[in-house]
Amino acid sequence: MLGSAPQSETARLAALLDGPRLERDFAAFAEIGRSAAGGYDRIAYSPADREARNWLILEMRAVGLDVREDAVGNIIGRREGSEAGCKAIAIGSHTDSVPSGGNYDGVLGVLGGLACLRTLHDRHVQLRHPVELIDFAAEEATMPGGTVGSRAMAGLLPPELLDAKAFDGQTLAEHMRAFGLDPAQWRRARRQAKDFSAYLELHIEQGGVLEAEGIPVGVVAGIVGIRRYAVTFHGIANHAGTTPMAARKDALVFAAPFIGEVQRIAIAHGIVGTIGTLQIFPAAPSVIPGQVRLDVEIRAISETLLDGAEAELRSVAERSGATFTAVSDKHPVRSAPGIMHHMTKVCAELGIVQKTMPSGAGHDAMCIATLAPQGMIFVPSRAGISHAPEEFTEPEQCVAGARVLLGTLLEVDATFA
């Protein structure tokens, strides 16, 4: 996968990244939060999440990083630069998981970033810029809306989210308190654009494009915007045995055509659309549904496409007498052309084939993009599987991604202010 003779000092140093050590880090991390049912339960703000973060803190300190935990639980390890006045280059991702998730989603970006800083430490290389390795808290949507740590850092976290319910019915604030954090202090996690020169994130693809095409690295052109809506259809609950069919006002019957329309509208607009939850009230076999609530999500790299699809979905829902309410809106984010150029250049010098592609999943990078230019590197996911125990990326692909990350870090350090 690597060329036999790297063509630059950047590529030479990137090729020295210790692949076997990165594999050992993955093996050590795999012992944390292993679920009896298979996969990993490193749910945000859980004891397993704390154990994983404590392991990371020790490894960060071993390579000379100054480590702190901020007000929402982000772990930040900083390595100072040689040139006064340079803003930090941030690298990282997250280590929390979905229930029974995998050991690669987010983890690769953190362990890959650690491998980069270990290389600099072991080779006695000091960069111009400070480097911050960040393990963002609560990226997964087990906590309300997900990306809690990166949104708080970017000043994008709505205060009302603290009282919103997490996956288990407890509020975000309750989870934070159990983790030893004071939710009232969450604004202290806020950072400013003056703090960062760039943000780089290595991640598994969580899809099957790279594997299907036999390409080891994806250079991410942008991250899709994600909009979610609550759509409620209203009928009249009544006895299922005594109410004639012609006299019924069945909310589920009203909702059924809309379900098909979500697919049709998504295809027509060239986006993806999903109904992930459906709640029927009162949910009894002998009662005609009096109310049905759907949660609808649409994703696209273009705001224009999202606007068009949203307008049509709203129109279809309201013609059926439903209420259509916007729940959340994460805007599409384009990657910085300069960072993408460096990633492509590093791949070429390392002899690694790459493909420019969008990200269909949300990431911490889309939040930190409000503070600094961002770029992401993808590596293949076997069978396109993620958020499941079968999630897997070949060790050599993880190493290749980490080497591209290190090379990009070196190039950004040399060329960014």
Please state, for a pLDDT cut of 70, what percent of the chain lies above it: 98
Q: What is the mean pLDDT of the chain?
A: 96
The b-or-e profile of 389-402 (16+ CB within 10 A means b, else e) is bebbbeeebbbbbb
The predicted-structure confidence for 274-306, as pLDDT tens digits, reads as follows 999 999 999 999 999 999 999 999 999 999 999
CB 266 within 8 A of CB 309: yes
What mean pLDDT do residues 399-406 have? 98
Can you tell me which residue has the tokens 């493909």? 355
pLDDT tens-digit readout, 236-273: 999 999 999 999 999 999 999 999 999 999 999 999 99
Question: Averaged over 47-64, what is the pLDDT?
Answer: 98
- Give the C-alpha separation, 111 to 184, whole Å: 31
pLDDT of amino acid 2:
47
Number of Cβ within 10 Å of residue 254's Cβ equals: 19
pTM score: 0.89
Q: List, for residues 342-375, the tens digit of each pLDDT value.
A: 999 999 999 999 999 999 998 999 999 999 999 9
Contacts (Cβ under 8 Å, ≥6 apart) of 324: 229, 230, 231, 313, 314, 317, 318
Specify the pLDDT at position 3. 45
State residue 66's pLDDT score: 98
Share of the chain above pLDDT 90, in %: 95
pLDDT in tens, 305-348: 999 999 999 999 999 999 999 988 889 999 999 999 999 999 99
pLDDT per position as a tens digit, 116-173: 999 999 999 999 999 999 999 999 999 998 999 999 999 999 999 999 999 999 999 9
Domains and CATH numbers, the chain: 9-223+332-415 (3.40.630.10), 225-330 (3.30.70.360)
Burial class (CB in 10 A: 0-12, 13-18, 19+), 350: buried
pLDDT given for residue 6 in this prediction? 53
Q: What pLDDT, on a 0 to 100 scale, did the predictor assign at position 403?
A: 98
Q: Mean of the pLDDT values across residues 198-205? A: 98
Which pLDDT belongs to residue 38? 84
